[in-house]
Each structure stands twice: as C-alpha cells, then as structure tokens.
Amino acid sequence: MTDEREITLTVNGTEHTIEVEPRRLLVHAIREDLDMTGTHIGCDTGNCGACTVLKDGEPIKSCLMFAAQADGAEILTVEGMEDLPEADDLHPLQEGFREEHGLQCGYCTPGMLMAGKALLDEHPDPDEETIRDAISGNLCRCTGYQNIVRSIEYAADELENRTAADGGAVAVDGASESEGPASPEGGHAAPEFGGDADTFCGREDCCGGPDGADPFDRDALLDDAADADGPDNADGTSDADADTDATDRGDTV
Amino acid sequence: MKSAPFEHHEPDTVDEAVSLLESLDDPTILAGGQSLVPMLRFRLANPDVVVDINGIDSLDYLREEDGSLRLGALARHADVEDSALIDETYGSFADVAPLVADPQIRNRGTVVGSVAQADPKGDWGSILLAHEGEVIATGPDGDRAIPADEFFLLPYDTTLGEQELITEIRVPVPGPNEGSAYHKLKRKTGDYAMAGVGARLVFDDDGVIESAGIGMTAVDITNARATDAEEHLEGERPDPDLFAKAGELAAEQSNPESDEHGGADYKERMVDVLTQRALSDAAERAGTVTVQRRVTQ
C-alpha cells in the first residue's frame, strides 16, 4: 500500500479528490497538489507553525500529518479567510494585521491568521495572555509579537462590533469596554491626540509619543547614525529605553 | 525532507490492529504522529509498514471507571487540557497538559503515544510513575497490565511486546486526602523539559504522609522515580525541612547529563527545587496543609 490512493479533502468549502502516496504530507498536498501556496513551510520540523491550517475547526500543523490522514476532513487555509461569513473584503483578522502592522516579512502570517481564527472561534473576547497562548506554536522572527497580539485584539473588537451592528447575536460584553485591550478607537492613527497622525499611533510604547521622532524617518535615522551619541528623542530618552519592555516578550511566545 | 515510502494500514478496531501487528513485518504504530512524523521525515525511523490507529474510535476516551482514570490511546493532550474532570481531580495532569509543546501539537499528539515513545524528556511518563499507574497492552493473547515501574527500559525502549498495542493508560482515582502536581523547567514554549518533577502525596486522616510518588523527567535515561525521597516522606508530617530533604534526595538520585541548556550540577539543583515545589503544591491540593515554600517561585 505504498501505492497512491484516492483521498477527498474539502478545502475552503470546495471538495477536491486527489491521488496521494501515504508519505505525502498534508502541507504538500495543499501546496503542490491543490496549488494553494498560502500555507507556508517554514522550519520543516513542526516548530514554527507557518503551516498551520484548521482541520475540522482545530488548528494543526499540516507538516506533521499525512494527507491520507485528512481524508474526508474539512480544511481551512488562509485562502479561505476572505470568503468566510464574518469577512468583508478581508477577514477581520487580515484587516487587523494590516491596521496594526502585524507583519513585516509576512512569512509567518498565514499560520498566525489560522491560529488567530481558531482562537476567536472559541474565545471571541480573549485577553492578552489567552492570545499569546494561542499563538505560542507560531514563531515570528520579525515583529516581536506585540503587533500580532494587537492585530488579533483588533479583529476581536471588529467582530464584536459587527455582531452588535447585525442585531447582537452576541451581547457586547461590558467588561471588555473597560478592560479590553485595544478598542478600535484606541488603535493606530488616532487624530484626537492632536499630534501628527502620520507618525504617532496613539501608543506611548510604540512610536515614541506625539513628540517623539518618527522611527521610520529614514533621513533622521541616517543623521542619528552619524551621531556618535546615538539617536535622541525630543524628551531626552534614547529609543533603546523605549524598547526595554519588548525584551521579555520572546519567552512568552 | 520526505519520509521513505511505507505501507499505510488504517484499522477500524483494536482486533484488526492487533491482527495487523501479528501478521505484518516489523510495523510501526502511528497515533498522534507529532514525534513520529518528524522522525519519519528525518529518516530517523524508516519503517516499511505503518499501522495508523487514528480510525479506531473506541480508543478515543478519557474517563473514570472501576476506580481508575483511564485514557484511551487516542486521548489527545488537548482533551486532558480541556477536561473538567482533570481540572477538578487530577492536579498533576492539569499541570502537565498545557506545558506539552504548543496548541497545534496538543490537538494531535496523544498522551499514550507520548508514553509509548518513552522519550526520557516526555512529561507523561513521570506522571504515570508518580501515580503508580499502569500501561494496558493489548496483544494476540488479550490485555495485560504493565505497572509503570516495569514499563520504561531505555530511551525510546519499553517492555511493550512487538505484537502489542497500548490501548490505555490508567492511574488510581485519588482518595480524599490526596494531591498531585507537576513542575517543569523549559527554555521556551514548545521545548521539552530541561527537568521536570511530578509528585503525588496521600495523607492519612491525621495529616501524616501515607504514601508518596515522585517521577522525574529528562534527568535520567528514562523517566525515573525518586524512591529515596519517597521513602523519606512516608510516615512523616509535611514541613519545609522535610520537603527540602526530599528535594535533596531526589537530586542525588537523578542522573542528568550536561548539554547546551545546562550543566548536570545545575539540573540536579533544579530537580531539588522542582521537587520541593511539586510537593508543596501536592500537599496543598490534598487539602490538609499549606507548607511554606523554602524556594521562591
């Protein structure tokens, strides 16, 4: 029975019948047989989570499962996100990753989105710890995770707002108003701060505050690089100080 | 890297699986696959024949029955993590489940598979030892119960017969004066333990320790019991000095190897610390006493 056998995978609502060898991994079936390359292979060892898909609603690593084992299963990949009922043009999670800068290189993003989707299906209003637990099987080497957490918080708020707007199948949780992390109003580019909306996102620990230097101002960075004292912010602190609370994030994820 | 080609068999029943194990040449059993699939892909394992038991629905359970907690071969780590029964009654199991690998792996990986894999860094073996549990092996001649103490031989090697399938592990349902806990040191989420200790304490009605079980992870060639510490605890009343001595004895009995994550001396010291923490939690959960920890959290 090393021969190929016929299996049926329902991927993003569409049924596919393919022939696979027993040793064919689910991730290879998705990427190579079905040509859906949104599901990534990062580490190839089951560590990184870039290959995360939902199998019958549960997040799994598709590089740690043979395709034949998913015969008859419903698979959701990143390509299916924008067609879900809760999606507009994009799924709220995808919107969140765009709005909150939840990616840099983007390699881990499909896996992060699927882990986020599984989380929000189970916990529509997760706290930060729950979010960090849910993405603990997904490695990101760019962002330091902060903005990924915010992106998922954004999506949770967005989904709650849409549910409320749709007539409230789920009641708005009063506690989330006071304790909830980032409401959309508290998110990026908040013009009510009176600062420069293009450079200040509304978070003290992110862009250096309304008077802080724009961290993405290339000319200023080049000037700073020429300055032996390193970059100085208007308030007399260096950017290194502002970053101290980011250093412990790696070991929670 | 791809696995070498193999034959894939998918029995629907335990009987069918056992007759496959009997008739096939050196088959490998595939359950959750979260250790086996990487081993196949790196070609550390090259079986010609794989018997995939995921289709045997009768093995998918976690329940109390006849005085034992029983986990079928398809109970996933996530099933333990999500179980209200585990939360209420089995402190050590509730401690371990969320510390195994990561959420995706816990959705697929099985507790029995982890025990069968017999990686000395696996957590569940220590729990089975601390609880004096049993491994139920089903073969051509029916079921046989292997005491946890007699199960682990060497890294990745056990006393399971070639034609046997582990269908269940079981541990006794705890009595009213019993508590258990597990503490694990790991570098980051997803890693195996650098060291781990599971403890179970049973008290009599006067608050004296009637029986103690301590299992250690990643500090010997198999999961191992800290028998010297257990003996030292039995017949005594819990207090910080007693637990400190037990930690010391467990550390002495452990046999860790130095590696890139820490030296043997350091790991022994961690066994000492983790033992004291696990004992302290177990005593507290037994409901009899609160023992002040000597070591800070």
**pLDDT tens figures, B185-241:** 998 888 899 999 999 999 999 999 999 999 999 999 999 999 999 999 999 999 999
pTM above 0.90, yes or no: no
Contact A59/B at CB under 8 A: yes
Stretch among A7-11, B82-86, B139-143, B188-192 having the lowest mean pLDDT: B188-192
As annotated, the residues of chain A forming the CATH 3.10.20.30 domain(s) are 5-80
**The CATH number of the domain covering residues in B57-171:** 3.30.465.10
Distance CA A46, CA A62 (A): 9
The CATH number of B7-55, from 3.30.43.10, 3.40.50.740, 3.40.190.10, 3.30.559.10, is 3.30.43.10
The C-alpha of B136 sits at a distance from chain A's nearest C-alpha, in angstroms, of 25
Q: Which residues of chain A have pLDDT under 70?
A: 1-2, 167-253
Judged by phi (left if over 0) then psi (alpha if -120 to 50, else beta), residue B245 lies in alpha
Candidates B7, B41, B78; nearest CB to A1: B7
Q: Which residues of B touch A250 (CB under 8 A)?
A: 188
pLDDT above 90 (res B105): yes
Smallest CA-to-CA distance from B20 within B229, B201, B164, B216 is with: B164
Q: Which residues of A touch B1 (CB under 8 A)?
A: 44
Distance CA B157, CA B153 (A): 6
The mean pLDDT of chain B is 95
SS3 string of chain B? Answer: CCCCCCEEECCCCHHHHHHHHHHCCCCEEECCCCCHHHHHHCCCCCCCEEEEHHHCHHHCCEEEECCEEEEECCCEHHHHHCCHHHHHHCHHHHHHHHHCCCHHHHHHCEHHHHHHHCCCCCCHHHHHHHCCCEEEEEECCEEEEEEHHHCEEECCEECCCCCCEEEEEEEECCCCCEEEEEEEECCCCCCCCCEEEEEEEEECCCCCEEEEEEEEECCCCCCEECHHHHHHHCCCCCCHHHHHHHHHHHHHHCCCCCECCECHHHHHHHHHHHHHHHHHHHHHHHCCCCCCCCCCC
**pLDDT, position A166:** 77
Q: Which residues of A touch B10 (CB under 8 A)?
A: 68
Tokens 């749709």 belong to A166
CATH superfamily of A84-187: [2Fe-2S]-binding domain (1.10.150.120)
Distance CA A34, CA B276 (A): 53
The identity of residue B21, as a single letter, is L
Distance CA B160, CA A146 (A): 47
pLDDT above 90 (res B17): yes
Mutation choice for A interface testing from B104, B105, B107 by most A CBs within 10 A = B104
CATH class name, domain B178-286 = alpha beta
Interface of B to A at Cβ within 8 Å reads 1-10, 33-34, 37-38, 40-41, 50, 52, 54, 78, 98, 101-105, 107-108, 188-190
**pLDDT, position A207:** 43
Candidates B7, B9, B38; nearest CB to A64: B38
- Contact state of A66 with B33 under an 8 Å Cβ cutoff: yes
How many beta-carbon pairs below 8 A join chains A and B? 87
Q: Which residue of B has its CA nearest to A56?
A: B107
As annotated, the residues of chain A forming the CATH 1.10.150.120 domain(s) are 84-187
Structure tokens at B3: 């696995």
Q: Are B130 and B200 in contact (CB under 8 A)?
A: yes
Mutation choice for A interface testing from B6, B41, B102 by most A CBs within 10 A = B102
For residue range A199-250, list pLDDT tens digits in order.
Answer: 444 444 444 444 444 444 445 545 555 554 444 444 444 444 433 333 333 3
Q: Which residues of B touch A47 (CB under 8 A)?
A: 190
Domain positions in chain B: 7-55, 57-171, 178-286
- The beta strands (E) that lie in A43-175 are given as 52-55, 58-61, 74-76
DSSP string, A211-252: TS--TT-HHHHHHHHHSTT----TTS--HHHHTGGGTTSGGG
Q: Which residues of A touch B33 (CB under 8 A)?
A: 64-66, 69
Q: Where are the alpha helices (DSSP H) in A139-212?
A: 146-165, 174-179
**pLDDT, position A231:** 40
Per-residue pLDDT band at B28 (split at 50, 70, 90): very high
Residues 6 or more apart whose Cβ sits within 8 Å of residue B283: B179, B201, B203, B238, B289, B290, B291
Strand partners, B172: B68
- Contact state of B190 with A250 under an 8 Å Cβ cutoff: no
**The CATH number of the domain covering residues in A5-80:** 3.10.20.30
What does the angle CA B235 – CA B237 – CA B241 come to, to the nearest 5 degrees? Answer: 115
